[in-house]
Amino acid sequence: MSAEILSPCGSVESLNAAIRTGCTAVYAGSKRFSARQGAENFDDDQLKQAIELCHKHGIKFYQAINTVATDSELYDLSMELKRACEYGVDAIITQDLALVDMVEELCPNLEIHASTQMTIHSPMGIDIGKAMGFSRVVASRELSLEQIKSLCNRGLEIEVFVHGALCMSVSGQCYMSAMIGSRSANRGRCAQACRLPFSDNIKKGGREYSLSLKDLSLVSHLRELEDVGVSSMKIEGRMKRPEYVASATDVCAKSLSGKEYDLETLKAVFSRSGFTDGYLTGKRYEMFGTRQKEDVVSAKDVLPQLKQLYRKERKSATLSFNLIVKTGRPACLEAVDNMGNTASATLNPPEPALNRPLTKETAIKQISKLGDTIYEFNKLDIDIDEGVMIPLKDLNTLRRQVCEEMDQIRISANSKVVSFIDSKMELDFNFPKLKNIKQKRIRLDVTKAEQLRGINFEEIEFAIVPLIEVKNCNGLPIDKIALSLPRFINNEEKTYSDLKKAKEQGFSKIYASNYAHIEMGNRLGLEIHGDFGLNPTNSLAVKKLSQLGISSVTMSLELKAGQINRIGDFSKLGIVAYGKIPLMLTRNCPISDCSRCTGFITDRTNRSFNIQCNKNQGYVEVLNCDTLWLADKLEDFNVDFITLKFSDETVNQTAKVLKGYLNGEVSSGAITRGLYYRGII
């Protein structure tokens, strides 16, 4: 079976553009809980009509309910889920484990797809996705063809982005827009701060836009992707204009079917200094680009011709007709489409022919006029008595009625309405915390084991040390060390093997920032603690993580203190309370050239953002310019633990920060309180 072409629809016009240019599935969002809140999106009536239109064409409709929700929004989220069931969506796309829990409890027959925001990019990530009930995973964009191949044929469908915007950060791991302007990418309100100037040593050949990549285009690789087992070719662009959707869909559909396609027109309608396939091919040079004046100007010339691509209705089915005209009986027109659906209509009995009796030629001429429908004429069989006639207007009426009935039959046949169990729904979603004021334990998250030398381990719950630092842990109490795994896994077999060896040496705890880490920990019987990269923002997500085997959960960096304090006690809860917060996790180094590396990039206000190099792991992290400090604010948080994250601090600085938190000191330097008080939009 051929892979699907999955097109973005941010508006009704974009929906028509996608359908009429060759897509086999679309994805769209409603007015709430969509990761593209800047798109026009669909209200309830439009959503229902859009689903019916797709199903009439035999096209699948996936609803993106793919933002994270807070506890106060869980009831509304459940109602969004209920509407999806009633309207007959083919699947929902989600990143929030609250929805996974709701589907399991309220509508277990609804298909769910794991959003790319879940950062699933390795085989064990696929395995735990399957265990959670997903039928499909939208893989991270940063994978090579071999890595994508390793995800396929493991029991889940794999969806791959093949065209559109390419974020610098791995999806689901970007907090830059939220930290800078309270506009969260995880909530669908990214302000694209990365497209602004961030320079890296321009005097020595650096870039002015160090966080802006060209647009992704794998158009020439679609058949390769299909060959390795990819089920769905996804086009990004719910916020782009209909002409872009039409062009991208047309090009992808033609490429997948082996036909010639027009990539230059697609480049003209929208690109950022051209396209890149660097992640897929491994040729990761010249991947950076911005929207230039010539990119904008070129679009004006191609928009009129692109509108022509979706001017006419798409022919999605063929109809074979049978016309029965018998004296004294109502005239009957029957139709069968290419999927075997049948429809019929009857009208007045025929009249005696005074001049011209009805002929097969006349009947074909009228019945075959299917211009404004989705149908193509295949054939007409007739059974007509001699010497009778039917007015042409009656033949037209029969044809119209049959087509309208076939529309409804096709909609019904292609709509899987899923039962929603209202009786099981917790109407208020109230998860009261235990009333006790919790005694906060301190965890130290370091980049080097050396930073722990001289630390009194009696003063902390445990330390978090990178797996690659195991060899440097000699003399440290390993029973009080949790191993953190690579946030992006380039070699899962090696990571798992190294973790297994560490267990044999006596290490018993891990810190999981990715779903694959949970699978690794469970396979090895390790104690698992969840890091902020899992993005839990509500009580149901915490509950689900606990069911997956996690002993403690670090809450999302994007929650306010009050929201954290209302999270239900399904697990031990904590926060990141110190450090330069990682704003981005990226496979591409913003500096790239190690010979001119300064260790930081600078924004247009001259603020410096450190680059934490994990080159041996195949990724880097862009750190916040200000240090998070909450030592004097800990009474505002009723949590079980706090984590102090250290990047380049010395041994003495690490000890000094720990002392400051033990004593509740006020910082004397420039600090940030993160989002714990101002929150996000």
For every residue of 253-266, DSSP letters joined together read: HHHHTT----HHHH
Question: Do residues 138 and 234 make contact, with C-beta atoms less than 8 angstroms apart?
Answer: yes
Q: For 395-409, what is the mean pLDDT?
A: 98
User: Where are the extended beta strands (E) located within 51-181?
Assistant: 60-64, 91-94, 112-114, 136-138, 157-164
* CA 434/CA 660 separation, integer angstroms: 28
Question: Which one-letter amino acid corresponds to residue 431?
Answer: F
Task: Give which of 319, 316, 327 is closest to 380, Cα–Cα.
Answer: 319
Kindly report, residue by residue over 619-645, the tens digit of the pLDDT: 999 999 999 999 999 999 999 999 999
Main-chain phi, psi angles of 105, to 5 degrees: -90, -35
Burial-class residue 331 by CB neighbours within 10 Å (0-12, 13-18, 19+). Answer: buried
* CA 174/CA 583 separation, integer angstroms: 6
Helix (H) and strand (E) counts in the chain:
19, 31
Task: Give which of 100, 238, 88, 98 is closest to 161, Cα–Cα.
Answer: 238
What does pLDDT average to over the chain? 94
**How far is the CA of 512 from the CAs of 129, 491, 530, 532, 536, in angstroms?**
15, 16, 5, 9, 13
Q: What is the pLDDT of residue 435?
A: 60
Main-chain phi, psi angles of 370, to 5 degrees: -110, 25
Task: Give which of 92, 90, 166, 104 is closest to 132, Cα–Cα.
Answer: 104
Cα radius of gyration rounded to whole Å, the chain: 29
Q: For 560-569, what is the mean pLDDT?
A: 94
Main-chain phi, psi angles of 160, to 5 degrees: -130, 135
Residue showing tokens 């209202």: 422
**In CATH, 441-581+628-672 is 3.20.20.70:** yes
Q: For 369-385, what is the mean pLDDT?
A: 96
Band of residue 668 on the pLDDT scale cut at 50, 70, 90: confident
Answer whether residue 203 shows pLDDT above 80: no
Residue showing tokens 């051929």: 2
Q: What is the pLDDT of residue 230?
A: 98
Answer whether residue 426 shows pLDDT above 60: no
* CA 34/CA 31 separation, integer angstroms: 7
More confident site: 134 or 355: 134
Main-chain phi, psi angles of 394, to 5 degrees: -70, -40
Q: What is the pLDDT of residue 431?
A: 78
Fold annotation for 4-166+215-259: TIM Barrel (3.20.20)
| pTM beyond 0.85, yes or no | yes
Answer whether residue 295 shows pLDDT above 80: no
Question: Residue 109 is encoded by which pair of tokens?
Answer: 């027959």
Q: How many CB atoms lie within 10 A of CB 237?
A: 24
Q: For 127-149, what is the mean pLDDT?
A: 98
* CA 9/CA 194 separation, integer angstroms: 24
Burial-class residue 369 by CB neighbours within 10 Å (0-12, 13-18, 19+). Answer: middle
User: Where are the extended beta strands (E) located within 427-480?
Assistant: 441-445, 462-466
Band of residue 1 on the pLDDT scale cut at 50, 70, 90: low
Question: Which one-letter amino acid corresponds to residue 245?
Answer: V
* CA 177/CA 181 separation, integer angstroms: 6
The helix (H) or strand (E) run that includes residue 511 is strand 509-512
User: Where are the extended beta strands (E) located within 29-115?
Assistant: 60-64, 91-94, 112-114
Answer whether residue 213 shows pLDDT above 60: yes
Q: How many residues does the chain have?
A: 681
Question: Do residues 535 and 172 make contact, with C-beta atoms less than 8 angstroms apart?
Answer: yes
Residues above pLDDT 90, as percent of the chain: 87
More confident site: 126 or 598: 126
The helix (H) or strand (E) run that includes residue 15 is helix 12-20
Q: How many CB atoms lie within 10 A of CB 16?
A: 20
Please state which of the ranges 189-193, 229-233, 340-344, 505-509 shows the lowest mean pLDDT: 189-193
Q: Is 181 helix (H, G, I), strand (E, B) or coil?
A: helix
Q: What is the pLDDT of residue 460?
A: 98
The helix (H) or strand (E) run that includes residue 602 is strand 600-603
Question: Do residues 55 and 89 make contact, with C-beta atoms less than 8 angstroms apart?
Answer: no
Q: What is the pLDDT of residue 34?
A: 85
Band of residue 670 on the pLDDT scale cut at 50, 70, 90: confident
Q: How many CB atoms lie within 10 A of CB 460?
A: 19
Enumerate the domain spans of the chain: 4-166+215-259, 317-410, 441-581+628-672, 582-623
Question: Residue 598 is encoded by which pair of tokens?
Answer: 């300064």
Question: Do residues 102 and 78 make contact, with C-beta atoms less than 8 angstroms apart?
Answer: yes
User: Is 4-166+215-259's fold the same as 441-581+628-672's?
Assistant: yes
Please state which of the ranges 344-348, 414-418, 501-505, 629-633 shows the lowest mean pLDDT: 414-418
More confident site: 349 or 40: 349
Question: Residue 222 is encoded by which pair of tokens?
Answer: 């679609």
Residues above pLDDT 70, as percent of the chain: 98
Question: Do residues 37 and 4 make contact, with C-beta atoms less than 8 angstroms apart?
Answer: no
* CA 498/CA 517 separation, integer angstroms: 13
By DSSP bridging, strand 600-603 and strand 608-614 are antiparallel
Kindly report, residue by residue over 582-628, the tens digit of the pLDDT: 999 999 999 988 878 888 999 999 999 999 998 889 999 999 999 99
